[in-house]
Structures are given as C-alpha cells and as structure tokens.
Amino acid sequence: MKAVYFDRLGPPEVLTLGDMPDPVAASGEVVIDIHAASVNAADWRGRSGTFGTIDTFPHIPGRDFSGIVSALGDGVNDRNIGDAVFGVCPSGQEGTYAEKIAVKADIIAPKPKSLSHVEAAAIALTGLTALVSLEDTLKLKSGEVILIQGGAGGVAGFAIQLAKHLGAYVISTASGENLDYLRDLGADEVIDYKTQDFTALSPPCDAVFDTVGGDVALRSFKVLKPGGRAAFIHEREAPQPPRSDVTALRPAVGRDRAHLTRIADLVSSGAIKPPQITEFALSDAATAHRISEARHLRGKLVLRIR
Ligand SMILES: NC(=O)c1ccc[n+]([C@@H]2O[C@H](COP(=O)([O-])OP(=O)(O)OC[C@H]3O[C@@H](n4cnc5c(N)ncnc54)[C@H](OP(=O)(O)O)[C@@H]3O)[C@@H](O)[C@H]2O)c1
C-alpha cells in the first residue's frame, strides 16, 4: 500500500510517500481501506519529537480515519466487508496516513450516512475529544456558562456546537478574522484575543475548555466562578490552579464505539455539522503539517486518500 511515513524525528520534510506492507487483520480486527484521514496536532507534535516518544521507525502518523471495511479477522461478527466506518486509532498505534489500516473492530462505528468520508474523518478525534471533555469530564449542564478557548480549531469547533446542544451559554475566543466562523458554529459571545482581554470581558463562568495551552490556559482560571471547573487538552497534564476554589481537569480521551456512535447520532440529529475543511492529497501531508504546526488554521485539514 501507499503510505506517508518518517524514518526519524524532524521537520515536515521527513514525511515520505512510499510503499509499505499491507496490514493483515489479527483476531478481533478489521482491515479498513482508508478514504480520508485528518491531520491532528498530535501528528506533527509526534513527528517533531515534542509530544510522546516515537522510537520505532518507519512510523506512519495519523490517528483518525474514515473508510470501508475490506477484511475481517477471526471473531469479528458485527462488521461486514463493505461497511462504511469511521474511528480513531488507539493511543500509541497511529498509522492512518495510509491506504489501509488494521484496527480492533470494537473501536470503529458506522460512518454517519449524511457525511462524506472527508467530513467523517474531520470529526472523529476532534469529536471524541470534545465529547469526553464537555460531557464526561466537565459534566457541562444546561444553563451553565462556558468559555471555550481557541474556538476556530478542530476540537473547539465541535465543542462550541456540543455546548450549545447541551444548553450552555457559550463564549469563545479567536482572532478577528475567525469571529464570524465562531458565531456560525453557535457561539453566543466571541472575543478577539488579539485586541481584547478575555479575563476582563468574560462573565463569571461555570466552566472553561482550553485547547490553546500556555499562558492562555493559566489566565483562564481568572474567569471561573467559585466551584468552577476547567478542562485542558494542550498538555498531558492540567496546569496547577492558582486558586483553591476551582478544579483543573485533564480529560482522559479513550477509544470506544459508544462515543463514536454518539458523534454519529449528534450529526444525524443536526446538532453537529462538520467544520470548515481544507483537503490535501496524501502526497501533500508535509504542507498540511506546516499549516497545522502554525496553529492558526480554521477548522480541519484532511488528507484525501482515495
Ligand atoms: N486526545 C487529546 O487529548 C487531544 C485530542 C485532540 C487535540 N488535542 C490537543 O488540543 C489542542 C487543540 O487542537 P486542535 O486541532 O483543535 O487545534 P489547533 O490546531 O492546535 O489550534 C488551532 C486554533 O487555535 C487558535 N488559537 C491560537 N492561539 C490562540 C489564542 N491565543 N487564543 C485563542 N485561540 C488561539 C487558532 O485560532 P486563530 O487562527 O484565530 O488564532 C486556531 O484556530 C492541541 O494542543 C492538541 O494537541 C488533544
């Protein structure tokens, strides 16, 4: 199969398009012919060696996918060859910048019928992360006020829509050219972080969802009401709160069919629409990494593989 891989950690130029062995479905696994895979921050952070420890080469990056089941391993009874499915690789596996992948059958779900493969790939890991963060971790409730940092990014774009669906009042930050995009996703209030101070403008919040990290994450504690909760996904651990009356949380984003099915249901009900998507050929993965790495993209970058 064709795949994009790297033989050493380094800049985007280490990404190479070449031939790799076709995967074989082990017991409990399926082989998926991948139609689309999205580019996530973890891909370039892993490639550059700034996140995780990739030490086995060649390494094929890529965490989420949408495609067609093309082979079944022993014991797989609830999937059929030809099923359109989407999903996210288990942490540490990776390998979706490729024409095929073998994964456990219990971490894939039927692709939402209304979405193309490109759209389904765009909401797999972002949707999973937003669901685990807002529903399972922050336990966001109707009527609560939430500040979502980095609203124009992939995870936050899903989170804005999910928070609105849950009945929350949503405030979100972005640069000026992305504010209309945030409003279109459903944000009630938007803040241009380049010209405005979110700590002065945000009303007291029940919850914060931070996708930016660094100083933005640390300053986010200021907007919380006493008893407020904040979830952080940029680093592996949540920052230490500078006050004792709030809680800092790091969502544990696992992989399972139930969350993917919930994503599909949210799409089918019209609660969630796909983000703005920029498509790239698999051979152009390095360009997509350069854009993602600059951390000012709107929506999602997706590699179209078939
Ligand atoms: N399993 C997990 O825990 C998990 C899963 C997925 C992602 N993540 C992490 O979540 C983070 C977000 O990922 P992502 O793919 O959604 O987005 P991303 O590509 O890292 O973020 C891009 C967005 O951040 C915005 N941004 C940059 N600086 C900002 C600032 N100071 N204030 C507000 N917004 C700012 C940009 O908007 P402007 O262009 O308007 O500046 C852009 O839309 C990453 O660190 C990633 O590693 C974790």
Contact by Cβ (8 Å): 38, 116: no
The answer to whether residue 181 scores a pLDDT higher than 80 is yes
Question: How much is the pLDDT for 188?
Answer: 98
Ligand 1 atom nearest the C-alpha of 51 is: 47
Closest-CA residue to 126 (of 164, 97, 152): 152
Rounded distance from Cα 156 to ligand 1 centre (Å) = 7
Q: Is the pLDDT of residue 229 over 90?
A: yes
Would you say the CB of residue 54 lies under 6 angstroms from ligand 1? Answer: no
Calculate how far, in angstroms, residue 151's C-alpha sits from the geometric centre of ligand 1.
8
Q: What is the pLDDT of residues 62-102, one digit of tens each?
A: 999 999 999 999 999 999 999 999 999 998 899 999 999 99
**Interval between CA 150 and ligand 1 midpoint (Å):** 6
Q: How far apart are CA 283 and CA 280, in angstroms?
A: 8
Of the candidates 184, 43, 39, which has an alpha carbon nearest to the alpha carbon of residue 121? 39
To which H or E segment does residue 66 belong?
strand 64-72
Taking CA atoms only, the protein residue closest to ligand 1 atom 1 is 253
Q: Round the average pLDDT of the chain to a whole number and report it.
A: 97
**Residue 62, strand partner residues:** none
Q: Which pLDDT tens digit goes with each residue over 103-135? A: 999 999 999 999 999 999 999 999 999 999 999
Ligand 1 atom closest to 298 (CA): 43
Q: Which atom of ligand 1 is nearest to the CA of 126?
A: 6
d(CA 127, CA 133): 10
Q: Which atom of ligand 1 is nearest to the CA of 193?
A: 32
CA 213 from chain center: how many Å? 15
- At 225, the pLDDT band (50, 70, 90 cuts) reads very high
- State yes or no: pLDDT of 49 exceeds 80: yes
Is any atom of ligand 1 closer than 6 Å to the C-beta of 288?
A: no
Mean pLDDT of 264-269: 97
- Measured in Å, residue 73 CA sits from the centre of ligand 1 at 37
With a 6 A CB cut-off, is 292 part of the ligand 1 pocket? yes
Is 299 close to ligand 1, i.e. is its CB under 6 Å away? no
Percent of the chain with pLDDT over 70: 100
What number of CA atoms fall less than 13 Å from residue 22's CA on the CB side?
10
Q: Which two tokens stand for residue 116?
A: 């193309």
What are the structural domains of the chain? 2-123+275-304 (3.90.180.10), 126-249 (3.40.50.720)
Residues shown for the chain: 306
CB of 153 closer than 6 angstroms to any ligand 1 atom: yes
**pLDDT in the model for residue 92:** 83
* Ligand 1 contact, 128 CB (< 6 A): no
Calculate mean pLDDT across residues 261-287: 97
Residue 51: predicted pLDDT = 81
Closest-lying ligand 1 atom to the alpha carbon of residue 45: 47
5-26 pLDDT per residue, tens: 999 999 999 999 999 999 999 9
What confidence tens digit (pLDDT) does each residue in 131-163 have? 999 999 999 999 999 999 999 999 999 999 999
Judged against a pLDDT cut of 80, whether residue 57 lies above it is answered with: yes
H or E segment to which residue 201 belongs: helix 198-201
pLDDT of residue 52: 77
* Whether the predicted pLDDT of 202 surpasses 90: no
Q: What is the pTM of this model?
A: 0.97
Which residue among 184, 212, 218 has the greatest number of ligand 1 atoms within 8 angstroms of its CB, and so is best to mutate? Answer: 212
> What pLDDT score does 280 carry?
98
Q: Whose CA is nearest to atom 35 of ligand 1?
A: 150
CA 301/CA 118 separation, integer angstroms: 9
What per-residue confidence (pLDDT) applies to 11?
98
